[in-house]
Structure 1
């Protein structure tokens, strides 16, 4: 996906919020853009358009994006906690500004957190190894129906339903 197309889809509020955050952390601009673009490209290959729905591809996208955000900022300062915090700030901002219902938002926030938890064990792996591992975990994800279901699967990726 073209980065310009992604930016064009953002609202003015999203753009301003992102600018404020990136001005505070200018060294993270390119790693964040790289992680975002790479995540979308990989998801398009692995799951086609279904990663925009609420199935395994969506769980994969959220987890992979968090792993890559943390990984690419980790390469700058070599601090796991700072990297995880950055990934959390970016993805929480995205969820705050995204138009999702409460179950979808809770699922996305959960999968983001699970992806950040994966990061520690994947930080020394190659991109291909990371993709394989996160995809395997997405394929073993759990179907949920309510927000309460999410709380039962703290270490697993979750999704609403598998799309055809």
Structure 2
């Protein structure tokens, strides 16, 4: 093979390998650091996006605030498995549990998740689903979630349900 063709062919081969193997992180969440995006379907349909903040809470609980304090958004709290509440070691799947189980005494508490969605005219609580924390580092977490939620409106004869899916990359303020 002529020498003038060897370099372009080897560059083309390298580009093909990078294209086939994928450049960057295979678990790319599609949201920027410190942001979230979610889809709501069911009795209410909407798409929300905005800031995502990681907060450590009392009793080794990790809190995630998706949205602004005064606007619509999703609040999640979970208890990491055996990490002493350290969000940088919290990778894994956390299933929705009743708030009473998450608030149990430290020796009885289960790893789990509670979540609440606030909209301008409604508030929903997670009844089923999970969050998967796929990345964890110093002061930051990333993950995806799928939640079945029921409206918290005792005055209504029937409660509305929704399904919320999305991704997040939260970091400490």
| TM value normalised by structure 2 | 0.28
| TM value normalised by structure 1 | 0.29
State the structure with more CA Rg.
Answer: 2
* Structure (1/2) with the larger strand percentage: 2
* Structure (1/2) with the larger helix percentage: 1
